[in-house]
Amino acid sequence: MEHNITHPALSALSTDALNSEQLQAFERDGVIVLPGRFSADEVESINAALVELIAENVPENIREKSSGVVRTAMGLHLRHELFRRLVNDPRLLVPARQTLGGVPIYAQQVKVNAKEPFTGEQWQWHYDFATHHHEDGVPEPLALNLHIFLDEVTEFNGPLMFIPGSHLDGPAPTSLDTTTTSFPLWTVGPDVVSSLAQRNALVCPKGPPGTMLMFGDSVVHASPPNMSPWPRRIFSLIVNPVSNRQRSHRRADHLHHRDTTPLR
């Protein structure tokens, strides 16, 4: 398939749409792994661009509670040309558009979760829609979270865990947790996680840099701290249909971008 990315560091490998088996698996599980979507060279360029962005002392860089190192660098497409190109990359957008029926989508959040060696803290059990709905007034759980692994993700460096199919009963009950980490999050309690996980088990996608993940807005997920000596950086683009945009604007722009111009 043709594509129109011109940044020298982003040379498309595969823009393939999901096949019918992959579409079915995504509907069933709410999460899908797409290996080898970005090359090692591309990931190296992304990581190189990230060095100067993470060094900046700006509100878009959110720091870990206990160590002060950067947990999440946000608003990246407004801070660096490479990320501006990346949010329009067809390898991310083709499968997202496909599952949303081709409606116009905008970049709701553009970040890297850094999870530094030894200091990267956990992400509590949650699903993204709870925060999008309670904080931003997003009406429906339609947003998609598109990840690119920027380091090899292993069992050691704080990988994400998902409860596949946890979206099928509709959004689970949540409560706001402002104390566990520096990032306020609407979280799912242990009783709900236990019953969902006992029914559906857990999956923990691992893989080399360049692996892509796509998951839905009401799929329950979490990740443990990074106690290893290796980083676990993950790029995350959240896309949302323009018709499902935020109704409340109380959070800062980098947490939910106000610009709903459709991505290319």
Give the interface with ligand SIN as residue ranges (CB under 6 A): 113, 123, 145, 160, 221, 223, 234, 236
From ligand SIN, Mn ion, none, interface partner of 234 (C-beta below 5 to 8 A by class): ligand SIN
| Shortest separation between residue 160's beta carbon and ligand SIN, angstroms | 5
Measure the CA–CA gap between 234 and 115, rounded to whole angstroms.
Answer: 8
CA distances 208 to 148, 163, 224, 241, Å, are 10, 22, 19, 30
Backbone phi, psi, residue 66, to 5°:
-85, -30
**110 versus 160: smaller Cβ distance to ligand SIN:** 160
**86 versus 234: smaller Cβ distance to Mn ion:** 234
| Shortest separation between residue 87's beta carbon and Mn ion, angstroms | 18
From Mn ion, ligand SIN, none, interface partner of 97 (C-beta below 5 to 8 A by class): none
From Mn ion, ligand SIN, none, interface partner of 113 (C-beta below 5 to 8 A by class): ligand SIN
Measure the CA–CA gap between 145 and 91, rounded to whole angstroms.
Answer: 13
Strands (E), 52-188: 61-63, 70-74, 105-113, 123-126, 144-149, 161-162, 175-177, 185-187
From ligand SIN, Mn ion, none, interface partner of 240 (C-beta below 5 to 8 A by class): none
| Residues of this chain, 118-137, that bind Mn ion according to CB under 5 A | 128
Q: How many residues bind Mn ion (CB under 5 A)?
A: 1
3-class SS of residue 174: coil
Q: Which positions lie near Mn ion, rule CB under 5 A?
A: 128
